Chain A
Amino acid sequence: MIQRLLLQPYLLAEPWLRHSNWMVRRVAQVAVVGIAVVWLALPGARRPEVQAGGHDDELARRLWASPRFLEFVNGPALGKPIVGPLCRMLVLRLSVHAQMRERASMDERNFLLRLSGPLGQQALRNLLIWQNHVLPSYFQSDDGRQVDIALVLNEEAQSEARLFDLFSIVLMMERVRSFAVFQDQETAIATTSILLSERELNHWRNAGEADDLGKMPRALLHKVEGQGTGSGIKLLTHGRKYANDLMKLTLPGRYVLAVALPEREDGKVEADELEFWLGLMDTLRSQHPQAGFVMLNCVPPSHWREWPGDVRFARHHGLSLQDTICLAQTADGYLGVLDVFGLAAHSAGRPGIYVPLANGDPSGGEGPPAIAKGSQIMAGSRDRAAIEMALAQFAAVFPQL
């Protein structure tokens, strides 16, 4: 009853909250804050139950839906000694109402993933594949909304030094809003159950293989290795800057190819692969002297040596993992595996050679490498003869500068 009485004056005052005239604006702000404080004091504000049989709080819904009101309570007023805590308490209570409404009406937003294998190059790549291919399958109509992910690591992954590479990648993913890591599923559920609807909780308890970053369905991986994936990874402002700085400073005037290769468990490049690809770079350079190369992986101190003058190592020049992914997106071309670098480069339309990350021949001998799109060559196999053939194809379509 009182809520309904408050609603009318609120509706009258709200449109004037950002009026250009100071006096009009201030009067409206005082009125709305006054109404909100009365609402805050009402018992209903502390009982945001909107399940069947419960009543929705129209005033709370209106307050939370008003960008003008939220801009005001989240604005400079927050810094004021008395008004600030009041505004924040208001936002807190309104958030609870909004969250309860959302839980009652929306599709899932919280997802539990597992990692049954090591936390390495494949698991990092699989997180992007999950976002782009598995996640949409959970929605009746995918509106591209952002989701929250909880990841349960197995013991093996907990002892590996890639956890913060995982966070780096998550922070770049377009559809991941919040992210949590847990040691076991029980802790994950106990800790976050307050945020979950019954439907989400059931899904968590029955999560399948597609939600295991260590066991992505083979058919899905095969599809990605043949066609790449959609975008899904942001080009960060600072990353773009540092990537461009590196290319301009160290390889000016070159056609820069980003290179990413299979990694060991600790994230360092596999030495044997590096040697093989250095040979390929040499071949390409002999035909196209304007080519320059930026390695995206790290090399351990014990494998460091003199490198050809047109090969640079981005991580050793101070670029972070995020910067390096941006480099894959912005370089002139790409050579290497379809890990997170490769998928980012491919979806950014970089020409180049894209090789499956896993060993073996997923194409099952179905035929020669295919040019999927323009000069993006999907090698389809880690077989070295196939990669050399792909290089010959790429060299033939290499741009003349």
Chain B
Amino acid sequence: MTWQYGSDSEKPVALLGIFDFSYQHYALGDLLTNQVNLAILASEQGLQHVDIVVMVNPERPSARQQTFVTRANYIAHLDNVMPVFACNPLLRSLQLIRDVQTFNFMVALHHRNHSPMWPDLSTHLKMRQDFPIDHGRINAFHARHGHIPQLSAPRGYQAWAQRFHATELEGRPLVIINPRQSSLTENPTVTYRDAPLPAWHAFIDAVAEKRPEALFVMVGGFQEWEHRLLLRRNVFIPRAWGLRLAHELALLKIADLFMGTSSGFATFATFTDIAYVIVNVEHSFAGPAEVRVNDRHFPFAKANQILTWRRETGDELLSLFDEVYAGARPIGTKKTGALAVGARQDLSSRSIGIDTV
């Protein structure tokens, strides 16, 4: 039995990405940004793959800033975020470790063998990670190469999304929406940043008149929408059909447009090719993103990938929709029939369930 493994002469082909939730956050956006960072790191080191290790110590399942994640409920939070790791475009393997000894052994041997690893041992030992995750490395990569790695649909879910879109959603143009609504969740935070739902509902109704072919897909936790959204025939809510984050991300990947508050879903859109409008971006994020407040685009964005920095109104949403949607897809001539997704009748009971990504 030896301390070394493999052969020193063997050139590594994969970067080990470590997500240790004893100091990293259960936060969809940051985890997604780090998938892009990992892909860039691997690419710059000439590595073909990324192996991801997700570490949760059941005795210490969360960072100090996320005290609502406890020994009793960490499994639900972990279960919610796991699909994020399968969005890495270079993913080769995904390991979930819940044993400190095994995890430390793996990290120590990786370090000993000089195998590429993120974060490096020194950073890992400090148990520190700055939040939010900045765009420094991504912007620099874009400046050098003119492109950035794109996030994938979670492994195995791309084909599902295409089938589901063609059959259950009648191939209609998809407009994914995610207006922030933290006040409806079990752990409300910074509720003053919540989206004005009346404005969004008015916007959805206005689009129903102008563009009846467009289907709004409301993504996010089951608690984060008001029941009246279900009454609209141009709205599909994946979580009301038993679908989960992996399905939502896969639908987002094939969508025509994303519109929403800056959030994890907005981050996913940011690192894909789809047209998007991210509204009410936090001013404090300008620094980490290396842009100025009121800049209309991230440095690596395309013309139809737009940011706004103030609280949205219904008229503004409509105007942005007109600007970007028209560019995304010409007005369809296809006549849309009565859609099954509008036929839900029985969700009159109080919303229950979790989903706090």
Would you call the interface of chain A mostly helix, strand, loop, or mixed?
helix
Our pick among B93, B109, B167, B246 for the contact of A181 (Cβ within 8 Å) is B93
Stretch of B129-137, B205-213, B348-356 that contacts chain A = B348-356
- Contact, CB under 8 Å: B1 / A197: yes
Partner of B349, one of A89, A172, A250: A250
Contacts of A316 in B (CB 8 A): 240-242, 344, 347
| Residues of B close to A287: CB separation below 8 A | none
Contact across chains for A99 and B156 when beta carbons are under 8 A apart:
no
A290–B86 Cα gap in the complex (Å)?
A: 45
A162 and B243 alpha carbons, distance in the complex (Å): 11
Q: A178 near B100 (CB under 8 angstroms)?
A: no
Bound: A85/B126 CA distance, A: 5
**CB-defined contacts of A249 to chain B, threshold 8 Å:** 349-350, 352
Contact count band on A:
35 or more
Task: Tell yes or no: A38 within 8 A of B by CB.
Answer: no
- Tell me whether A318 and B109 are in contact (CB under 8 A): no
- B105-A84 in contact (CB<8A): no
**CB within 8 Å for A177 and B93 given contacts A78-B127, A158-B156, A195-B105:** no
A159 and B154 alpha carbons, distance in the complex (Å) = 10
Indicate if A93 sits at the interface (CB-CB under 8 A): yes
Cβ of B92 under 8 Å from chain A: yes
Distance from A316 Cβ to chain B, minimum over Cβ atoms (Å): 6
**What band does the interface of chain B fall in when counting residues whose beta carbon is under 8 Å from A?**
35 or more
Instruction: Tell me the total A-B contact number using a CB cutoff of 8 A.
Output: 225
Interface residues in A278-298 by Cβ distance below 8 A to B read 298
Residue from A51, A183, A249, A318 whose CB has the most chain B CB atoms within 10 Å: A318
* Cβ of B83 to closest chain A Cβ, rounded Å: 5
| Contact among A79, A92, A170 with B104 in the assembled complex (CB-CB below 8 Å) | A92
Complex CA–CA separation, A315 to B346 (angstroms): 13
In the complex the two chains form, is B343's CB within 8 Å of A298's CB?
no
**Chain B positions within 8 Å of A361 at CB level:** none
A346 at the B interface (CB under 8 A):
no
> Which residue of chain B lies nearest to A102 when distances are taken between CB atoms in the complex?
B101
Chain A 38-77 per-residue mask, 1 if CB under 8 angstroms from chain B, else 0? 0000000001111100000000000000000000001000
By a CB distance below 8 angstroms, the chain A residues around B168 are: 300-302
Q: Does A88 contact B (CB under 8 A)?
A: yes
CA of A172 to CA of B78, assembled, Å: 12
Which residues of chain A come closer than 8 Å to B347, judged between CB atoms? 316-317
Residue pair A236, B75 in contact (C-beta under 8 Å)? yes
Q: Are A318 and B223 interface neighbours, CB within 8 A? A: yes
Are A238 and B73 in contact (CB-based, < 8 A)? yes
Residues of B within 8 A of A159 (CB): 156, 159
CA distance A323 to B80 in the complex (A): 12
B157 adjacent to chain A (CB < 8 Å): yes
Partner of B108, one of A93, A319, A323: A93
Q: Of residues 150 to 203 in A, which have CB atoms within 8 Å of B's CB atoms?
A: 150, 157-164, 167-168, 170-172, 177-183, 187-188, 190-195, 197-198
Residue A386 at the B interface, CB < 8 A?
no
Whether the Cβ atoms of A298 and B242 lie closer than 8 Å is yes
Q: Is B99 an interface residue (CB 8 A)?
A: yes
By beta carbon, the residue of chain B nearest A74 is B60
Determine whether the beta carbon of B154 is less than 8 Å from that of A246.
Answer: no
Residues A304-351 near B (CB distance < 8 A): 304-307, 312-313, 315-323
In the bound complex, how far is the Cα of B83 from the Cα of A149, in angstroms?
A: 19
CB distance from A135 to the nearest CB of B (A): 17
Known interface pairs A92-B108, A164-B244; A178-B343 also in contact (CB < 8 Å): no
A186 to chain B, nearest CB (A): 11
Given contacts A236-B75, A304-B343, contact A96 B352 (CB under 8 A): no
A91 in the interface, Cβ–Cβ < 8 Å?
yes
Residues in B with CB closer than 8 Å to A238 are 72-73, 75-76, 354
Contact B93 A180 (CB under 8 A): yes
Residues of A within 8 A of B246 (CB): 161, 163-164
In the assembly, what is the distance between CA of A245 and CA of B354, in Å?
Answer: 12
Within 8 Å by CB of B96, from A146, A167, A242, A302, lies: A167
* A318 in contact with B222 (CB, 8 Å): yes
Chain A, residue nearest B70 (CB): A237
Q: Is the CB of B93 within 8 A of A95?
A: no
Quick check: is A383 within 8 A (CB to CB) of the other chain? no
Q: Which residue of A lies closest to B243 (CB)?
A: A298
Measured CA separation A159–B93 after assembly (Å): 15
Say whether A195 contacts B247, CB under 8 Å: no
A329 to chain B, nearest CB (A): 15
Contacts of B73 in A (CB 8 A): 237-238
Q: Does B190 contact A (CB under 8 A)?
A: no
Asked if residues B102 and A99 are in contact (CB atoms below 8 Å), the reply is yes
Q: Contact at A163–B86, with CB atoms within 8 Å?
A: yes
Contact B125 A158 (CB under 8 A): no
In contact, A161 and B160 (Cβ under 8 angstroms) = yes
B94 touches A301 (CB 8 A): no
B306 interface contact, C-beta 8 A:
no
Write out the residue numbers on chain B whose beta carbons fall within 8 Å of the beta carbon of A358.
Answer: none
Interface residues of A in 239-270 (CB under 8 A from B): 239, 242, 245-246, 249-250, 266
Q: Is the CB of A315 within 8 A of B242?
A: yes
A195 to chain B, nearest CB (A): 6
A114 contacts chain B at the CB level, 8 A cutoff = no
**Which of A81, A99, A323 has the most C-beta atoms of chain B within 10 angstroms of its own C-beta?**
A99
Query: Which B residues, 77 to 95, have Cβ-Cβ distances below 8 Å to chain A?
Result: 78-80, 82-83, 86, 92-95
Interface string of B275-310 (1 = CB under 8 A from A): 000000000000000000000000000000000000
A146 to B99, CA, bound (A): 10
Per-residue A-contact encoding for B104-124, CB less than 8 Å = 1, 0 else: 111111100000000000101
In contact, B345 and A306 (Cβ under 8 angstroms)? yes
State in angstroms the CA–CA spacing of A93 and B247 once bound together. 41
For the complex, give the distance between the alpha carbons of A238 and B340 in Å.
32
Contacts of B353 in A (CB 8 A): 242, 317-320, 323
Counting chain B CB atoms within 10 Å of each CB, the highest count among A104, A168, A178, A192 belongs to: A178
Shortest Cβ gap from A235 to chain B (Å): 12
Check B192 for interface membership: any CB of A closer than 8 A.
no
Given A93-B108, A249-B352, verify A164-B154 contact (CB < 8 Å): yes
Bound CA span A50–B3, Å? 10
Chain B window 38-75, contacts with chain A (Cβ cutoff 8 Å), 1 for yes, 0 for no: 00000000000001000000011000100000001101
The 3 A-B pairs of least Cβ separation, nearest first, read A318-B353, A315-B242, A318-B222
- 6 A-B pairs (CB sep. < 8 Å): A88-B124, A178-B99, A180-B94, A194-B110, A299-B242, A319-B352
17 new A-B contacts, CB < 8 A, other than A193-B5, A242-B353, are A49-B2, A79-B64, A88-B124, A96-B108, A146-B99, A161-B159, A163-B157, A164-B86, A177-B98, A179-B96, A180-B94, A191-B14, A194-B105, A249-B350, A315-B242, A318-B355, A320-B353
